[in-house]
């Protein structure tokens, strides 16, 4: 007899799709099964509910919960515009959240890094939800152990390369720290959507938000592929405040003049030909959100990333809204 409802706990087949009602049932990301058994698993989705490194509004510790809840509507449909079910090709579980004791912030880097180590050493890749942006630093440390120096594709309003003494838990300086430690390679990395002042680029390639608006999505795609080669191990970090507050009000440090979801999605969808080794989506703070706008954007971004990985596993895209015998500009054919 077919199992109906609460697929997050009751699903037996990792490749089956949700039959939960969108408005009820146990919440996991895209209704994937909750499991810490990574046998045969391609991707583990996990939450990093830490926000004590934020410089303005707290609340991103509730981000993983909010993103999971917002993902229910798209869990039961073929992915748009790819026109396939990614889970026919890609085995994905919701691994749950890293356990952190808020009373010992000095242990956060160690705890998150070990959490990631446990997943990565089993040959499973990660899609992680913050939490504030500092959580990317221990995640990068773990990925660096497996893949070596990384190319970073960084969507953000802020460069997060402000100087510090190398010891701060600060969501505004961790990429300078990662560069200094040789974890990321700035000249093979690109930051997209930046619109706050920082006089030193620290060697990162930056596509400022006004440049993106003036030159358009295709210019962004071309620039990314100029800076990042297909063989470079690529880690994507997406700070939701890359989006303008009109599209992502629920975040800790909103900055006007940002990108729209209409711009961001085709940029992300163009990255399927790169060597994608991990991704995080951070700074979703549901307390400042309206009608789940921000969490919906984050869940869609995460879903699109999984679709890129599904293409690498053999899923064939037949794009909706275009001629089926051609790949529209800005999309990787897989």
The one-digit pLDDT tens for each residue of the chain (334 residues) are: 566 767 786 677 777 777 677 777 788 999 999 999 999 999 999 999 999 888 889 999 999 999 999 999 898 889 999 999 999 999 999 999 999 998 898 999 999 999 999 999 999 999 999 999 999 999 999 999 999 999 999 999 999 898 887 778 878 789 999 999 999 999 999 999 999 998 888 999 999 999 999 999 999 999 999 999 999 999 999 999 999 999 999 999 999 999 999 999 999 999 999 999 999 999 999 999 999 999 999 999 999 999 999 999 999 888 766 544 455 555 554 4
Predicted pLDDT of residue 2: 65
Task: Pick the closest to residue 141 from 329, 36, 280 (CA basis).
Answer: 280
Residue 331, H or E segment: none
> DSSP letters of 16-82?
----S-TTSS---GGGPPB-S--TT-SEEEEEE---TT-SS---GGGHHHHHHHHGGGGTTSPBTTT
> DSSP letters of 138-149?
HHHHHHHHHH-S
pTM for the structure as a whole: 0.92
Q: Give the distance, in angstroms, between the CA of residue 319 and the centroid of all CA atoms in the same chain.
A: 22
Read off the tokens for 282: 């951070």
Predicted pLDDT of residue 324: 42
Please state the φ and ψ torsions of residue 126, each to the nearest 5 degrees.
Answer: -125, 140
What is the C-alpha separation between 121 and 129, in angstroms, rounded?
20
Predicted pLDDT of residue 321: 61
What is the C-alpha separation between 57 and 209, in angstroms, rounded?
22
The neighbour count for residue 119, using CB atoms within 10 Å, is: 21
**Secondary structure of residue 276 in the 3-state scheme:** strand
Predicted pLDDT of residue 325: 46
**Secondary structure of residue 249 in the 3-state scheme:** coil
Q: 264, 243 in Cβ contact below 8 A?
A: yes
Check: CATH 3.40.800.10 for 7-312?
Answer: yes
């Amino acid at each position: 007899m077919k199992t109906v409802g609460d697929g997050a706990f009751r699903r037996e087949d990792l490749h089956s799709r949700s039959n939960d009602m969108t408005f009820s049932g146990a919440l996991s990301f895209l209704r994937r099964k909750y499991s810490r058994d990574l046998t045969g698993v391609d991707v583990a989705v996990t939450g990093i509910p830490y926000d004590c490194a934020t410089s303005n509004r707290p609340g991103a510790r509730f981000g993983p919960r909010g993103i999971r809840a917002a993902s229910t509507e798209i869990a039961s449909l073929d992915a748009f515009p790819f026109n396939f079910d990614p889970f026919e090709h890609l085995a994905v579980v919701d691994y749950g959240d890293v356990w952190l004791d808020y009373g010992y912030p000095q242990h956060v880097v160690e705890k998150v890094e070990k959490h990631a180590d446990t997943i990565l050493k089993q040959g499973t890749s990660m899609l992680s939800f913050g939490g504030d942006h500092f959580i990317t630093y221990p995640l990068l440390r773990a990925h660096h152990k497996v893949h070596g120096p990384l190319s970073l594709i960084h969507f953000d309003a802020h460069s997060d390369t402000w100087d510090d003494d190398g010891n701060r838990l600060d969501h505004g300086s961790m990429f300078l720290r990662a560069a200094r430690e040789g974890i990321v390679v700035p000249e093979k990395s690109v930051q997209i959507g930046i619109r706050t002042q920082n006089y030193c680029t620290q060697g990162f390639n930056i596509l400022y938000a006004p440049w993106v608006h003036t030159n358009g999505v295709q210019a962004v795609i071309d620039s990314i592929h100029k800076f990042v080669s297909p063989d470079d191990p690529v880690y994507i970090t997406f700070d939701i405040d890359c989006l303008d507050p009109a599209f992502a009000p629920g975040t800790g440090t909103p900055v006007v003049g940002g990108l729209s979801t209409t711009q961001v999605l085709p940029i992300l969808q163009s990255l399927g030909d790169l060597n994608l080794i991990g991704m995080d989506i951070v700074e979703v703070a549901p307390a400042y959100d309206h009608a789940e706008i921000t969490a919906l954007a984050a869940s869609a971004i995460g879903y699109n990333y999984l679709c890129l990985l599904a293409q690498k596993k053999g899923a064939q895209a037949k794009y909706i809204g275009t001629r089926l015998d051609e790949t529209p500009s800005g999309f990787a054919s897989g």
